[in-house]
Amino acid sequence: MSDASAADTRGQATVVVVSLLLVVSTLVPVSVFLTGGTIDPTTGDDVPDIDTADVPESTVPDAETRREARTRQQIRDRLGVVDQRDALRSVGAFEAHTHGVTGAGVTVGVVGKSFASDAESIETRVGGHERFGGRRRANVDTGHGTAVAEIVANTAPESTLYLAAVGEEPTTDRYDDAVRWLVERDVDVVVDAGSYFPKTANDSASLSQTAQYAIDNGVIYVTSAGNYAGHHWSGTGTESGWVTFAGETQANALGDGPLSGRVSLRAQWDSRADYDLYLYRDLPGSDDPVVAKSTRRRFGGMEAIDVVVPRGQYYLAVYAHDGVSDPGTVQVFSARHRLATTDAVGSVAAPTTGAGIITVGAVGPDDTVRSYSSLGADGTVDLSAPDGVETDSVGAFYGTSAATPFVGGAAALVASQGNFTPAETEYILERTSRENGLNAYAAVSAASRPFDVPESAVTGRPGGARAETPANATVPANATVSANATVSANRTATDDANATAARAP
């Protein structure tokens, strides 16, 4: 499809000179745009880290520092920041610790952009740290990865951490190298709290295959669902012409007003249709120019735009070529900016789409799902945990990135109770979860007893069909669980509230 034909269809002009930037960009080595950072809990957008670390009164030397301390407290109050100790109690981790389950002997691999392995919050827990490719930068952001590792370390306080840094734009090969390095170190659990936006369908599949490699080697794989409920749209495509997003609207605006800087868009579909992705600048009173486009027909399945734009208002559009009777389902992601027309269902990002991966969503202080937390194909995720947590690494930590390490740490606690497969671990964690999410103590209590996991219990993908509840399965008497939660098909023994959950031989 030529630029001219697209412009004629929409009655808009095309700026060809900018399109050349995209042609050049397709010639560089393929990398995967990795997101993961502190987000604004009111919007779901990425924001700079909010340093709300507490300052003990005894260390406050002057009035100015006291004012800063009060300001930090006001920020905590306004945003609903949860003390990490309270969060550990809410997910049942502290109760597991008091019963002697601390993750001793378990190793956890953490994948992230970068880490400060010498940070006080994790230094004594790190068994190994490796960096995979990318340029070394003087002011690299280590906060996100370190905060994730910190929460894992506090959830499973006697586990050992291996840190694999892949940079902000890792290639799929670099990601694969990092995960294989962790598997070679015989980790029991991998925690990856980032979201990845590959440029091709093949690269997306490659990320899932890498995770599957770890799972096939007995590693429990825990990832974040992503914070893209408001950054995603999904709907039926069209046999030809422009895809409509709502009613007759063929444009989907980015952000709430003028924006500038980097824009990252993805369009993907599940049929043999051929779609093109366009980014337009909205210029009232004149034709809207094409700022960037992706028309790589030979790749199929996905189109990608990564471009830097000047301040202005922008929208995306998707064009379908003629000749396909089945338009399929089209999905659009805007990694860096919210969309005007959205659909949260199906908004999980790679590698969560792989089979056997535990996908984690975020819940707020009122135990409701965060509005920005991504959802799987049927509007659910495998497990949920709290975000808005106070950390030593970044202060207030929001998003599914903050929720994921609680589940990763709980998986380590379960792993300390016996030699469980990834499927068995997922089954235990899901079937002992509360209505509002994770219950680590109920999980380790269940794991300390023999049981069988029916093959049909493994969900496969986030939001997939779950197994029916075995009628004779029970959980610890003092554990609050969801109405359909179970532990195993065979287990009927109840738990003594004061018993120690001993590690299985």
Cα–Cα distance measured from residue 231 to residue 224, given in angstroms and rounded to the nearest whole number: 16
Tens digit of each residue's pLDDT (9 = 90 or more) over 142-184: 899 999 999 999 999 999 999 999 988 888 999 999 999 999 9
pLDDT per residue over 123-146, tens digit each? 999 999 999 976 666 567 789 999
Give the CA distances from residue 127 to residues 98, 167, 184, in Å, rounded to whole numbers and listed in that order.
Answer: 25, 20, 13
Banded pLDDT at 491 (limits 50, 70, 90): very low
Q: Is 195 helix (H, G, I), strand (E, B) or coil?
A: strand
Region 356-385 average pLDDT: 91
pTM over 0.85: no
Residue of 169, 204, 207 whose CA lies nearest to 190: 207
Task: State how far the Cα of 393 lies from the Cα of 38, in Å rounded to an integer.
Answer: 11
Q: What average pLDDT does the chain have? A: 78
pLDDT one-digit tens code per residue, 382-409: 999 999 899 999 888 999 999 999 999 9
> Is pLDDT of 493 > 90?
no
pLDDT at site 450: 66
Q: Which of 95, 370, 393 is nearest to 228 (CA)?
A: 370
Q: Are 362 and 386 in contact (CB under 8 A)?
A: yes
Domain parsing of the chain, residue ranges: 234-334
Second-level CATH architecture of 234-334? Sandwich (2.60)
Phi, psi (degrees; rounded to nearest 5) at 202: -65, -40
What pLDDT is stored for residue 34 in this prediction? 53
Q: Is residue 419 scored above 70 in pLDDT?
A: yes
Query: What percentage of the chain carries pLDDT values higher than 90?
Result: 52
Per residue in 64-109, pLDDT (tens digit) is: 666 655 665 555 555 567 789 989 999 999 999 999 999 999 999 9
Q: What is the pLDDT of residue 270?
A: 85
Name the nearest CA neighbour of 181 among 122, 106, 111: 111
DSSP state of 495: P
